[in-house]
Structure 1
Amino acid sequence: MDNLQTMLAKDTLSAKMARAFITTREGERYLLFQAKTLEATLEKEKEEVAILGRMQKGHKSVSMKGSGTMTIYKNTALFDDMMLRLVNEGIDTYFDLQVENEDPTSDAGGRVVILTGCNIDKTTVASYDADGKLLEDEIGFTFEGVKIPKNFRMLDGMQA
Structure 2
Amino acid sequence: MLDASRVIMGTYGQAYIDGVWQTHINKLEASVELEKRELKLVGNDWTVHKSGSKKGTGTMSGYKVTSDMIARGFTKFDIISKLDDPESYGHERVRLIRCMPDKIQLANWTAGEEVQEETSFTFEGYELLDPISAD
Instruction: Give the TM-score normalised by structure 1.
Output: 0.79
Q: What are the equivalent positions in structure 2 for 1:46-57 lying under 5 Å apart?
A: 46-57=36-47
Structural RMSD (CA): 1.4
Select which of 16, 19, 31 maps to 2:11: 16
Q: How far did residue 44 of structure 1 move? A: 0.2
Question: Is the Cα contact below 8 Å between 1:123 and 1:137 reproduced in 2?
Answer: no
Deviation above 4 Å: which 4+ runs of structure 1? Answer: none
| Structure 1 residue aligned with 2:99 | 118
Which of 102, 119, 126 does residue 139 from structure 1 map onto? 119
For this pair of structures, how many residues does the alignment match? 135
- Of 90, 102, 109, the residue aligned with 1:109 is 90
Q: Which residue of 2 aligns with 1:74?
A: 64
Gapped regions of structure 1 (runs ≥ 5): 1-5, 24-28, 84-91, 156-160
State the identity %: 33
Deviation at 1:54, TM superposition (A): 1.9
Q: Distance in 2 between matches of 1:15 and 1:144?
A: 24
SS of the residue corresponding to residue 125 of structure 1 reads: coil
Give the drift of 1:64: 0.3
Task: Provide structure 2 residue ranges, at least 5 long, that are not aligned to the other structure.
Answer: none
TM-score, normalization by structure 2: 0.93
Instruction: Write out per-residue CA displacement over residues 38-94 of structure 1, whole angstroms, 9 at most, x where no aligned residue.
Output: 1000000011101111222111111101110011211211111122xxxxxxxx411
Return the offset for 1:102: 0.6
Selected match of 2:75 from 93, 100, 107: 93
